[in-house]
Chain A
Amino acid sequence: MNNVVGKLLIVLQLVFSLLFMCFAGAVYSFTQSWRTKAETAMTSVAERDRQINELKESHTQELDARKVENEQLNQRATEAEAGLAQVQANIRTLQGELAQTQQQRDKHLADLQVAQAEADARIAETNELRAETKKLRDTVSLQISEIQDQEDRNLVYSGLVAEAKEREVGALKEIGRLQDLLRQNKIDPRKAVVGPVPPEITRVEGKVLGTKQNESRSAELIHVSIGRDDYVSEDMTMDVYRENQYLGRIRITDVYADSAVGILIERTRNGVIERGDNVTTKL
């Protein structure tokens, strides 16, 4: 029995000894690789931790930067919202002003149309007035020309009237002289004429033969080509003219058979009398 137990114990001892040897050998065999792996893993873990820390630090910095940027962006967003609100308010204000301006514009357009119509009417009226003014100016011009013609006629008539008055005065003087002559010769003018009557002085025309100043140069002497043969007598007046121009009147002072000399009446002078001008007893 003891032998059997001893044998079993020996066998067990052998088995456990072999197991111990195997485990110890296995531990020794794999320890080296495990340690290397562990160190490598620890190194890797440390590297990873360092990277993680760096990443965390950078992430923290970036996060801080993002926070600051976010705050700035929030501030800018707030300011932008405030600005947007102000801009919207301004837009509403401007829209209101635009509506008012459009109303005023419409009103002004309506006023402008009315004013345009009125201006057109005024223009038409002005054109009519201009045409009427032109007619009136033409009429005025025509009337002015007529007035000038009338004034010219009046001037001519005034000259004729003055001449007629002068003739009247001369005729009255002549009548007085003739009456004196009749009284001196004791002839009654109311009696009938008895005997031959000298011919009536008719229209006689001649030429100016020359002109000359008197000695005192106070009067101009005119020598004419008609004389006593043409019934020219002293104190007779003659008119001198050249074509259609009246030059003046002369009073005969000396009478010859076929010529006479007269003095130019200065107040009737109307030009320079020259040789060859016409002279007549009646115009």
Chain B
Amino acid sequence: MSQQSSDPTIYDGLMFVSLGAVIMGVIFLCLALENYGWSG
């Protein structure tokens, strides 16, 4: 069994940033739909 390094890499950071970006996008989308009353 090989010893896997537990140190986060740049890709973990990128994943984290991507998740944050998605969350922010969802929030913006919800806010936009709120303006239209969720009726499209």
Contact = CB atoms under 8 A, between A and B. Distances in A.
Given A14-B18, A28-B28, 16 more contacts: A10-B14, A13-B15, A14-B15, A17-B17, A17-B20, A17-B22, A18-B18, A18-B21, A20-B25, A21-B21, A21-B22, A21-B28, A22-B25, A24-B29, A25-B25, A28-B32
A230 to B, nearest CB: 191
Interface of B: 11, 14-15, 17-22, 24-29, 31-32, 35-36
Contacts of B14: 10-11, 13-14
A35 B39 CA distance: 14
Interface of A is mostly: helix
A13 B11 CA distance: 11
Interface of A: 6-7, 10-11, 13-14, 16-18, 20-25, 27-28, 31-32, 35
19 contacts: A10-B14, A10-B18, A13-B14, A13-B15, A14-B15, A14-B18, A17-B21, A20-B25, A22-B25, A23-B25, A24-B27, A24-B29, A24-B32, A25-B24, A28-B31, A31-B32, A31-B35, A31-B36, A35-B35
A232 to B, nearest CB: 190
B21 A14 contact: yes
A20 B32 contact: no
Contacts of A24: 24-29, 32
